[in-house]
Amino acid sequence: MTPAQSACLADALVAGYGILAQGDPALAAVECTINLLEQSGLFNAGRGANRQLDGVQRMDAAIMEGAQLKAGAVASIEGIAHPITVARLVMEETDHVLLVGPFAGKFARHFTLDRHRITGTPRRLSYGRILAKQKRSRTKRHGTVGAVALDRSGTVAAGASTGGIESMLPGRVGDTPLIGSGVYADNHSGAVSMTGIGEGIIRLVIAKSICDRLAMGKSPAVAARQVLRILTSRIHGTAGAIVLSPDGRFAIRHVTPHMAAGWWNGTGHVTSHMAAGWWNGTGQPIIQGEFP
């Protein structure tokens, strides 16, 4: 993790602390922390998102709150600085959960959300050449950013935002915008945000699977460990999870090479670390980032 990434994670923790400390909802803390990571261009989300094989950035994001199980998501959205904010608007301004592609972008522009300049030129490749390039690639870079939080009312929330993995076919969608796979939040069980290779996370519906174990009385650490063990043993997948229960217990578990985040105990300096992160004051935000 670079010094700039570490500083950005620290800023996100400070922002999450401020929102929860003044009594605002967990949903706002989740959106705000992810906004900062998207804005920075330092992570594979928002301005820093990976490009698909045709040279275009297409981004996914999702957010969910645990009181009423409301959720919103976008997939394959282009040219928008904060996909997580669009996801929240889908949740709050429509009767839907997921909007995709150009119409997700049109929805975002209706609300005059910040856009970012699209750089570079789309690659004019035949689809056969794109397929061949994808098959030749051995790159496994990814890097979803995510957050979970618990507010003073006892409501949990979870969110995630990503540019996906490298060497993606145009239109590829990973786990992040699929509620139950990349994110899940329920006041009766807990909140989960995932990172890693989305195809495996989707196949096991991991975020909801972890929450189901929390609802059965498993601790966050045990629930995450059990599901990630299935991921590695059954389909040789790689992922990381941040897990928060309604009583404030949390765990960060990963079967990826790296998972970066930061923590703060409410006093002194915020600390960043290439492992995991949290804030253990009143309410509990947790942020994560993953790097190759």
| DSSP-derived secondary structure for 145-202 | EEEEEE-TTS-EEEEEEE---SSPPTT---STTSBTTTEEEETTTEEEEEEE-HHHHH
Note whether residue 124 is domain-resident. Answer: no
Q: Count CA atoms closer than 13 A to 78's CA, side-chain side.
A: 13
Q: Which two tokens stand for residue 108?
A: 């975002």
Helix (H, G, I), strand (E, B) or coil at 121: coil
Domain count, the chain: 1
Whose tokens are 């199980």? That residue is: 69
Q: Is residue 167 part of a domain?
A: yes
CA–CA separation, 9 vs 13, rounded Å?
Answer: 6
Print the domain residue range for 72. 3-117+131-288
SS3 for 109?
helix
In the residue annotation, 238 being an active-site residue is answered as no
- CATH code of residue 243: 3.60.20.30
- Rounded distance between C-alpha atoms, residue 258 and residue 268, angstroms: 26
Angle at 131 between CA 129 and CA 133, to 5 degrees: 70
In angstroms, the first-to-last Cα distance of the chain is: 10
Query: Which residue out of 144, 176, 195, 256 is catalytically annotated?
Result: 144
Does some domain include residue 122? no
The total of other beta-carbon atoms located within 10 Å of residue 70's CB is 16
Angle between helices 26-40 and 83-93 (to 10 degrees): 150
Classify residue 123: in a domain, yes or no.
no
pLDDT tens for the chain, residues 1 to 292: 788 888 888 889 888 888 988 999 999 999 999 999 999 999 999 999 998 988 899 999 999 999 999 999 999 999 999 999 999 999 999 999 999 999 999 999 998 766 655 555 555 566 666 566 555 555 445 568 999 999 999 999 999 999 998 778 889 999 999 999 999 999 999 999 999 999 999 999 999 999 999 999 999 999 999 999 999 999 999 999 999 999 989 888 888 777 776 555 455 666 555 544 344 344 455 555 554 3
- Answering whether pTM is above 0.75, one says yes
Q: How many residues does the chain have?
A: 292
